[in-house]
Structure 1
């Protein structure tokens, strides 16, 4: 039995691929490498470079590797970008998944795990936010993911497919052994930007909105370590294999930290100060987003190992320092060549 991971060379996908391989799974990856890196994959994992919406490619991979489950990460994830290019997000997120599901149905794939987002909630009516509250996304990113959730539900009902939708909260950190992490140029993740500032790669970090009705005026987020999130995917696969019913689950820790608290955590673990510039609120940003995690803890065999903001920041910093060293070595090598 083989698991197809779309977007498996990306930030979260590569951590999940490694978690699956370390658990003894056979894995194959489809990734167009627009934000992913082949070097992040274990050597034994086959990589097919292409789009997850390429039905001919995916159908061939499924047949060649006898795929029985799909974990779907491939897509676009930047909220401000989605406000500027909504059609691009509906194409990359919703339409690509429609094509992938079409192949999955033809190939009689019975298990599907989808990476969704807490952005489907918009500004939730209650915090921590449970999965059953109304979904009112504030951005095309959130809307594109919600459309996909609806589509997956309908396809599964019509074709006997079981699924788990995992709604990610704020994913951060890196592999504790610094084998992989967030390496995409221009990444917009808060802790990524903060560790870039701490390592001298940015002159400052912008904080968008300090006038929210929160304790320090900045937005509040539930940060989840990427390794714990990867393990949640492994646990979701085991759940479906055990006959579990289709379900939607929040992926967070149920604890909120403000943007300014996250910046201070990076300052503490790095021992370095860096400039912070305050800017107006951005369209599409959500004020407070903290997960109600009671359902995922009751449903999956999943216990977070890195539920600590400073640990998350420390792992993100160690990865960033490794990237800096590698770039410096490349420059020195080029200069001496």
Structure 2
């Protein structure tokens, strides 16, 4: 049996059953019992099977407003079940199934190098291929009138209401801005477009730093690998932290889930010492944590007060995505 490979920390199924043909019902029964499906039929048939399993699991989608933690448990179960369909890579890194596309570049981009002669979950493989296509084609950003190219493992700015807020907020100063947790660099690019003369962007992820350097090439931005703040003080400090103070289920959830609210707390506690006189900190945050009962508005305002910050203003917007049920995204203008 080939060794297991995962970039997401997925566990290898304890038992793998070689299969050439299977119904959706049979596949779900195998997967729910912890039996991995080592696919040996055609690649298109494997995709059809996985799509059928996903559709069946999504017939009664979990409602996060009923119970956030129950919702998360259901999503983890869904991820585990769909991860039970396994495909082999040959000694050249190709998927060793008839009709398979060449995904070697996509896997190498996600893994940081070639992956050969391994087994991996079909769902993870398809995610790698999709991420590689995002990187190749890019995501059109209205506020920039250009494409941003996300790397695998870096948050894709498909929801752009937070970008639009940074593009619209009244700019305090234009000499130096800090972008904390830059990700793809999209907010730093918006600040550069608005005329900020120098930007220092940081991220704790080496993948994000490489991604931002690619997207910000030619702009007045310096990208550094750092946990939150660089040593500079600036007239504007921007941060769009993970919105939900909960445990991520995989490395790809890190831009959305912030265990214990560490990033938010670190930003607020350090903001005052990194603001130049008269400067502002822009905190871009959804109210999803409040809607799911993970944090109250009073908790957030108390955090501001404890950090010695006052609210100079706030801009709100309503997301345009179809699943929005009253969510509001806000840009909090904070000062000392």
Q: Shorter-chain-normalised TM-score: which range? A: 0.3 to 0.5
Structure number with larger C-alpha Rg: 2
TM (norm. structure 1) is 0.35
Flag the structure with higher helix content. 1
